[in-house]
């Protein structure tokens, strides 16, 4: 009985951590897209990419507050790509 409870708690923690690792970069990507569309007048300038890079770097300091364990390059690649995809979708939609 005790072993089943520990296993269930472990699965719940892994699920919550996966949610944090998915929702946080998605929200930051949308935020970067909105900021890029509001601040950048010329879509061909590289300023929107600088905003995106800064938002990705800010996430390094946000995850410790969320008590999320990020180990290795695999997690950071996933987080960066999720942020880039959400930024690109939001920025493209707001340009139209």
Domain ranges of the chain: 23-37+47-96
What mean pLDDT is predicted for residues 79-88?
95
pLDDT tens string 11-29: 988 898 889 889 999 999 9
pLDDT tens string 56-76: 999 989 988 988 888 888 889
Q: Given pLDDT bands bounded at 50, 70 and 90, which one contains residue 4?
A: confident
| CA distances to 2, 21, 49, 52 from 46, in Å | 56, 27, 5, 10
Compute how many other C-beta atoms are within 10 angstroms of the C-beta atom of residue 20. Answer: 16
CA 32 to chain CA centroid, nearest Å: 10
Whole-model pTM: value is 0.87
Give pLDDT, residue 6: 86
Proportion of the chain above pLDDT 90, given as a percent: 52
């Amino acid at each position: 009985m005790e072993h089943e409870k520990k296993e269930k708690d472990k699965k719940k923690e892994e699920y919550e951590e996966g949610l944090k690792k998915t929702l946080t970069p998605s929200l930051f990507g949308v935020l970067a897209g909105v900021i890029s569309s509001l601040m950048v007048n010329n879509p061909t300038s590289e300023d929107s990419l600088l905003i995106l890079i800064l938002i990705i770097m800010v996430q390094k300091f946000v995850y410790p507050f969320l008590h999320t364990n990020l180990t290795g390059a695999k997690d950071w690649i996933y987080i960066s790509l999720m942020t880039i995809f959400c930024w690109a979708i939001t920025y493209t939609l707001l340009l139209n």
